[in-house]
Amino acid sequence: MPDTPLALSLDLIARAHPHPVADDATALKLMTDAELAPGLAAAMAARPMPAEGLWVFGYGSLIWQPEFAYSERRLGTVHGYHRRFCLLQRRFRGSVDRPGLVLALDAGGSCEGVAFRLTGPEAAETLLPVWRREMRGNGYLGRWVAVETAAGPIQALTFLVNPSSDRYTGPISDEAIADRIATGAGHLGPSAEYLFRTVAACLAEGIHCPHLLRLQGLVAERLVASLGAA
């Protein structure tokens, strides 16, 4: 458990979202592996410093659910981008009627996260599951970024928000973000669960993100209010 007390909890989220949500395959068009392959090939071709290994920088769900084998992990900081809930989720963690929000890296500022060194003789094959997971919904751009770590700088692949996507919210207030997160739920669960697991994982790593910490309090207030109105 994180040392920093959180107002948001899995119990509160479960009480506010007691009913499962059915999947709606029409809510979000997903790219096939064949459609994803050229982008992955281009990313691998643009990979800087391949001798240092293949690194992926996680700032959200990749911290607590990486879905790839790795041989090393390091805390690190990326400059020029910040972590923000700015990507609408009409499926998975939201619905068409009540879209949730998930994290992306948006321009400006800096972001602390976790860099993973992937294992496997075929780097592209090792990377494919996470590339599929992040890129098939047309919400992200895969880019190589410099990551500062205590053991020295590295180059890592990460996922920036795609500003041309219809899922990109642009600048909105924390209160508006909290409204979406509190109400959004899809077949993978509530958007609030994604927030809770991310902020808890960050705190466990020693990452105190003001955006996440403020949002968990705002979302908790909204969930408590929704239970009182039920």
For residue 73, give the CATH number of its domain. 3.10.490.10
Q: Which residues make Cβ contacts (< 8 Å) with residue 121, sequence separation at least 6?
A: none
What's the DSSP call for residue 219? Answer: H
Residue type, 173: S
Q: In terms of residue numbers, what domain contains 85?
A: 10-17+29-224
Write down how long the chain is: 230
Decide if 69 is inside a domain. yes
Decide if 220 is inside a domain. yes
Query: Are the CB atoms for 223 and 196 separated by under 8 Å?
Result: no
- Look up residue 153 and give its two tokens: 């700088």
- pLDDT at residue number 2: 46
Decide if 5 is inside a domain. no
> Looking at the 3D structure of the chain, how many domains does it have?
1
Decide if 149 is inside a domain. yes
Decide if 24 is inside a domain. no
Q: Is 205 exposed, middle or buried (0-12, 13-18, 19+ CB in 10 A)?
A: middle
To the query of whether residue 205 is one of the catalytic residues in this protein, the response is: no
Which position among 52, 67, 122, 134 bears the catalytic label? Answer: 134
Decide if 2 is inside a domain. no
CA 167, 214, 107, 57 dihedral sign is negative
Decide if 23 is inside a domain. no
- pLDDT at residue number 218: 98
Decide if 22 is inside a domain. no
Query: Are the CB atoms for 85 and 215 separated by under 8 Å?
Result: yes
Query: Are the CB atoms for 6 and 196 separated by under 8 Å?
Result: yes
Say what the pTM is: 0.94
- pLDDT at residue number 125: 78
- pLDDT at residue number 1: 42
Q: What is the pLDDT along the chain (230 residues), one digit of tens a residue?
A: 446 789 999 999 999 999 999 999 999 999 999 999 999 999 999 988 777 789 999 999 999 999 888 899 999 999 999 999 999 999 999 999 999 999 999 999 999 999 999 876 666 678 889 999 999 999 999 999 999 999 999 999 999 999 999 999 999 999 999 999 999 999 999 999 999 999 999 999 999 999 999 999 999 999 999 998 76
Q: Which residues make Cβ contacts (< 8 Å) with residue 197, sequence separation at least 6?
A: 61, 64, 65
